[in-house]
Structure 1
Amino acid sequence: MNKHSVAFLALMSGVLSAAAHAAPGEYWEVTNKMEMPGMPFAMPATTMKVCIPKGGENDPQKTSGDKDCKMTDIKTVGNKTTWKARCDRNGEVMTGSGEQTTSANGYQGKMRFSGKSGGEDMNMSMAFSGKRLGGSCDSEEAVKKAKAQMCDKSRYITTADWITNADLILRPNSACADQRSQLCDLVQRDTPKDVRSYEALLMHDQQMGSNISVAKECKLDMKATTKSICKKLDADNYGQLSAHCPAEAKAFRVAQRRRECEGRSYTAETRAADLKKCLSGKADSSDEDSSSEAPAKQSSKSSGSSTASDALEAAKKLKARFGF
């Protein structure tokens, strides 16, 4: 099971816990458990206290659904209700069916889903039950609290954090849609100059399989943004930016090599040639050794020739002076 399946499973867990609706309600203890073939571990059952509108225990929309799931073909015979469902979360679509049996102070049921997530087939089932606890509650207030928790932006420290969680804000009918303007202002401001924000944007839009593009939703000119961020390529961020900034990466490597080559020691006679060879990338230690040895041999040969010539000239002068 890939990361997309895990993400979808996490999102689907809200189906059975989003039972609060804007109406006077009462408290229920709701338990649900998910099963999915191929998972490396068993999902533990979860139990929570929720506020369900009075009479809502008989409605699968309130006991087993949320706004991202549409219930159809709802039929009730006696105390048993059946239905079909289609859940669409950020383009991840699951379809299935469910059934629920209701008693005076409780209900229990099961839902089965199938579909694709991240391009892979996925099947899952969910068993759920509810027990009436009693006590009045304001289900509208429960909705507000859930929204406040989900949309809490105090946990976003950097623009990269906002981008990573952008789907919560940009997906259709999002409860956090009022944060869209703030998100896009940050994206427009920081992505062209902050490497971490730029990386987060690329990862979200290209690698995470999301059908929501932050760049598109925030009207970001990616060509201009990439051109701007490439100007900041240096030794610290070369690994992150080199693939996206080939021209700047090449210029950086050339400048780096020049600094290395100009820092080497060469003999005065061959400095220009050796520096040129180093900059071309053809020079190595053996070349440098042979280059440094060649002038020495040449100098030695030249010195030997000079000594022989001087000796011969001195001999000629002696012969002329002393007549032998």
Structure 2
Amino acid sequence: MKKGIFFFLIAVAALCYAAVSVSVHAAGPNIKEGQWEITTDLEIPGMSSDMPQQSFTHTECLNNDDYVPQGSQNKGAGGDCEIKNVRTSGDTVSWTMHCNTGQGNMDGEGTITYRGDTFEGTINTVMQGGMKMTQHLQGRRIGDCN
């Protein structure tokens, strides 16, 4: 009898775990899948006020399986970046990253808060040697993915 109860409890625990896993993934942030226009303003503390603020805009496809805009990482970093530790909490997505810029390594962390067809976020990075950069992101959905 004890053996039967033990297996029953294991089965119930497995079902509860599966239900929680599915509901957590399904919850995700409030993002409308599609083609997004993303504007990045680059801020480098300590740079001369004579240097104009660097800003660039690109488009990319975002969906419920890939919340982190990849283009902004690579453009701002000037190299190849690996996104790690992606987490969601409500409509906010956060992650860490490691980049090889060709001129040294760079590490950072980012957060984006989605609001359906718009988002705002920040990526803070530190270059090898200690130089810090902040990227301020704004995104808006502009249509379906190609």
TM-score relative to the length of structure 2? 0.62
| Contact 1:115/1:121, CA 8 A, preserved across alignment | yes
Aligned to 1:129: 138
Using the alignment, how far apart are the partners of 1:127 and 1:88 within structure 2? 21
Partner AA of 2:60 in structure 1: C
Shift of 1:73: 1.9
Larger radius of gyration: 1
Shift of 1:53: 4.5
Q: Which structure features the higher share of strand residues?
A: 2
Aligned to 1:42: 52
| Contact 1:35/1:42, CA 8 A, preserved across alignment | no
Aligned length: 108
| Contact 2:36/2:140, CA 8 A, preserved across alignment | yes
| Contact 1:52/1:62, CA 8 A, preserved across alignment | no
Counterpart mapping for 1:107-256 below 5 A? 107-116=119-128, 120-137=129-146
| Contact 1:87/1:95, CA 8 A, preserved across alignment | yes
**Cα RMSD for the two superposed structures:** 2.5
Shift of 1:63: 6.1
Aligned to 2:87: 75
Aligned pair in 2 of structure 1 residues 32, 73: CA closer, same or farther (>3 Å)? same
Matched, 1:87 2:99: yes
Using the alignment, how far apart are the partners of 2:145 and 2:97 within structure 1? 30
SS of 2:130's equivalent in the other structure is strand
Matched, 1:31 2:42: no
Shift of 1:61: 5.2
**82, 106, 112: which is aligned to 2:118?**
106
Partner AA of 1:124 in structure 2: M
Using the alignment, how far apart are the partners of 2:145 and 2:86 within structure 1? 28
Counterpart mapping for 1:268-307 below 5 A? none
Using the alignment, how far apart are the partners of 2:57 and 2:127 within structure 1? 26
SS of 1:60's equivalent in the other structure is coil
Using the alignment, how far apart are the partners of 2:106 and 2:60 within structure 1? 26
| Contact 2:41/2:136, CA 8 A, preserved across alignment | yes
Deviations 1:232-278 (A, max 9, x none): xxxxxxxxxxxxxxxxxxxxxxxxxxxxxxxxxxxxxxxxxxxxxxx
Identity %: 23
Using the alignment, how far apart are the partners of 2:46 and 2:111 within structure 1? 24
Using the alignment, how far apart are the partners of 1:110 and 1:29 within structure 2? 16
Deviations 1:179-228 (A, max 9, x none): xxxxxxxxxxxxxxxxxxxxxxxxxxxxxxxxxxxxxxxxxxxxxxxxxx
Using the alignment, how far apart are the partners of 1:34 and 1:53 within structure 2? 21
Using the alignment, how far apart are the partners of 2:95 and 2:145 within structure 1? 29
Q: Which structure features the higher share of helix residues?
A: 1
Shift of 1:29: 1.7
The structure showing larger relative contact order (alpha-carbon pairs under 8 Å, at least 6 residues apart) is 2
* 4+ aligned runs moved over 3 Å, structure 1: 53-56, 61-67
